[in-house]
Structures are given as structure tokens and as C-alpha cells.
Amino acid sequence: MPKVGVVLSGSGVYDGSEIHEAVITMLALDRAGVEKIMMAPDIDQLHVINHLTGKEMEGEGRNVLVEAARIARGDIKSISDVSENDIDALIFPGGFGVAKNLSDYAMSGPNCTVNPEVAKLTQAVHKAQKPIGVMCIAPTMMAKILRMENLSSDLTIGSDKQTADDINEMGSNHIVCPVRETVVDKKRKIVSTPAYMEAKNMTEAAAGIEKLVQEVLDLI
């Protein structure tokens, strides 16, 4: 049975993982009969957003791993305890936590840095020629991780010009892609889909995410 790592960045679209994307990914993997290895870095969130008002909750702090455990129903590991030998593929749901907690793309754009544990595992999985799936805003982080190794890939976040330009500036090749479709770089074994960068509802997001999961599994 294949084992697929799913990296979460908290719980909630504005400061952590996009919950719909995470759950759709988990459901697609479960339906495929794949063992999920849920993980997240054991670090503090950048900040906490009130998802009712959209405003920052001043003075409140949360832990990425603890918050991600809500989505994983407690069955989750610290990413530092997972190696490329434990998994056959890696998938990153989106959400602003990718750009705030796993990286600082939300603040620094193309000059962003990536959490060292996240970068280490992703690089190791890629070096082992195991497939990686990235959705929503996560392709920006993937472009940066590849740039750190002087590599590039075909990637998509949909059609947002500024984000697409940033991916290109980081050395990868952005391809405009409809929400229900994916971009597959067979050479790099990297699959991406816009998800909620373009989706207007769960059905649209699920179409692309389910396709991404299947294409990642086909590349194993």
C-alpha cells in the first residue's frame, strides 16, 4: 500500500491550511486505498486570524502542529519525525498558512524563505524521485524550494498575474490552468492545481484536487 505524506500548515484558510482542500485531499487518498501520513511543523503560527471577522487576534498565539491536529483528528506527526523513506509521495494543501507558516511568501514574495524542516523533507522526496503535489498557493513555495537547488518546474496557481510572475521570477515556469485541471511536470514528478486560488465553490476545488491526487498516485 502506498504511503502519502500530507503536510498541513495549521487549521483555517487565513492563517493555516485551507480546510476544504485538506479534507478533499484526505478523502481522495482514503478512497484510493492509500495510507496517509499527516504531518506539520511544530512551530508557532505567524499570527491568529478571527475567521468570522477576518481580523488579526492581537496577543493570541497558536501552534501549527497543534492546530493541524484538529484536521487530522489527532493522527499527525511533527514533520521533523518524517523522512523520505517513510513515504512514497508528498502533497501540500493550500491556505495562507503555506505562505505564512511553512514559508514567508505572504510577506516577502519571491524573496521568501522556507521553513528548514519543510524544505529538507521536500528536497529529499524530490531527490528520491518521488512525486509531489502542490495546490492553491503552495506552488509558490515549491518554486522557491526548487530554486534553492537551482532547479525549476512547470507549475500553476491558476491565472493570478502577480503570483504567476513571482513563480516565474523564482525560476519556475507558470502555466495558466483552469480550476478543474492540473499541470503535470512529468520530468520533475510535480503536479499542481489552482484549487481555491480559482475555485468559486467546493465542487470546483474538488475536481482539480481529486485529479491531482490521482496523478500523484500514478507517478509513484
pLDDT tens digits for 94-107? 999 999 999 999 99
The residues spanned by each domain of the chain are 3-219
Whether 136 is catalytic is yes
pLDDT of residue 212: 98
| pLDDT given for residue 68 in this prediction | 98
57: which residues sit within 8 A by CB, 6+ positions away? 47, 48, 49, 50
pLDDT in tens, 159-180: 999 999 999 999 999 999 999 9
Provide the pLDDT for residue 111. 97
Specify the 3-state DSSP secondary structure of 20: helix
pLDDT tens for residues 37-82? 999 999 999 888 989 998 989 888 999 999 999 999 999 999 999 9
Local structure of residue 63 (DSSP, 8 states): B
pLDDT value of position 75? 97
Residues 6+ apart with CB under 8 A from 93: 6, 7, 8, 9, 17, 18, 21, 22, 25, 135, 136, 138, 195
> What whole-number distance in Å separates Cα of residue 24 and Cα of residue 28?
6
**pLDDT of residue 145 exceeding 90:** yes
Phi, psi values for residue 69, rounded to 5°: -60, -25
Backbone angles phi, psi at 50, to 5 degrees: -75, 110
Percent of the residues in the chain that have a pLDDT greater than 70, as a whole number = 100
Tell me which fold the domain 3-219 belongs to: Rossmann fold (3.40.50)
In the chain, the amino acid numbered 32 is A
Predicted pLDDT of residue 91:
98
pLDDT band at 129, cuts 50/70/90? very high
pLDDT at 28: 98
Q: What confidence category does residue 1 fall into, taking pLDDT thresholds of 50, 70 and 90?
A: confident
Neighbouring-strand partners of residue 89: 4
> Quick check: 1 and 84 in contact, CB under 8 A?
no
Q: Which of the following is catalytic: 39, 136, 141, 199?
A: 136
